[in-house]
Amino acid sequence: MTIYIKNMVSESCKYVVRLALEDIGIKDSKIELGEVKLNRKITNDEKNLLKLKLNQVELEIVEKENGVLVDKIKASIVDYVYNSEGKPGVKFSVFLSNKLDKKYGYLANHFAEVEKNTIEQYLVALRVERVKEMIIFGEHNLSEIALKLHYSSVAHLSKQFKKMTGMTPSQFKALEVKARLGIHEI
C-alpha cells in the first residue's frame, strides 16, 4: 500500500513521518520524498491517527490523484536542488522527465494547472532559498555555490537572486537578520 504525503520534501520530513508511523505501530515501511510504501494495508483508525500526527507538523495525506503528481514533482525539484552536488549537470527537464517517467510537457502543464505557477518559477524560488541557506551557513563563496547548484555563472545566480529578493547575494549576506522561506512556503 502506498500513501502519498503532501509537503514531505526533505530528509527531516522523512524522519518525522517515520517517527509518526512508529508511534502508531507501523515499523516496516519504505519512505521516499512524498510517499510511503507500506507492507500492509492500514486500518481507518491508523490512517486517522497518522493524519492527526502529520497535521501537527504541516504534513498531510494526499488522496486526490492530481495532488499526488504535483507533490512528486515538488519532491523531485527538491531532490534536484538539494542533492545535485557532485552529479553531472543534467538539464532539469530531462532529470524530471526521467525521474517521473513522464514527458516534461505533460508534467509542466499539469503543475501549472494545479499550482497556478510554473515548474520553472518553483525551481528558481527553491534555488534562491537554497542559495540563501548556503550564504547563511557561510561554507561556500558565490562561485562555489553557483557551481554546486549548476548555475551557468555567478552572474546568472546573482541576477536570479536579485530578481526574486530585490537584493544581491552580497547585500543579503550583509543583513543582520537573514529571512528565508521554508520549503512549504514556496
Closest by CA position to 111, among listed 91, 128, 89, 93: 93
CA distances from 63 to 48, 59, 99, 136 (A): 13, 13, 22, 37
pLDDT tens, 112-141?
A: 998 889 999 999 999 999 999 999 988 799
38 and 123, same domain (yes or no): no
Q: Are 157 and 87 contained in the same domain? A: yes
Residue 143: its pLDDT value, please? 94
174 and 127 in a single domain? The answer is yes
Q: Same structural domain for residues 90 and 57?
A: no
Same domain, 43 and 100: no
Shared-domain flag, residues 8 and 87:
no
pLDDT digits (tens, 9 = 90+) for 8-57: 777 888 899 999 999 998 887 888 877 888 888 888 899 899 989 998 98
- Residue 50: which CATH number? 3.30.70.100
Q: Are residues 164 and 77 in the same domain?
A: yes
Does pLDDT of 178 surpass 80?
no
Query: pLDDT tens digits for 76-118?
Result: 898 888 887 655 567 889 999 999 999 999 999 999 998 889 9
Which range marks the domain in which residue 39 is found?
2-63
Q: Is the pLDDT of residue 169 over 90?
A: yes
**Residue (of 57, 53, 54, 21) closest to 40 by Cα position:** 21
CB atoms inside a 10 Å sphere around CB 178: 12
Residue recorded with cell 562561485: 143
pLDDT score recorded for residue 135? 93
Q: What percentage of the chain exceeds 70 in pLDDT?
A: 91
Q: Chain-wide mean pLDDT for the chain?
A: 87
Is the pLDDT at 63 greater than 80? The verdict is: no
Give the H/E segment covering residue 37: strand 35-38
pLDDT of residue 146: 92
Model pTM score: 0.71
| 97 and 56 share one domain | no
pLDDT at 161: 95
Q: How many domains does the chain have?
A: 2
Give the percent of the chain with pLDDT over 90.
Answer: 42
Average pLDDT over residues 58-87: 80
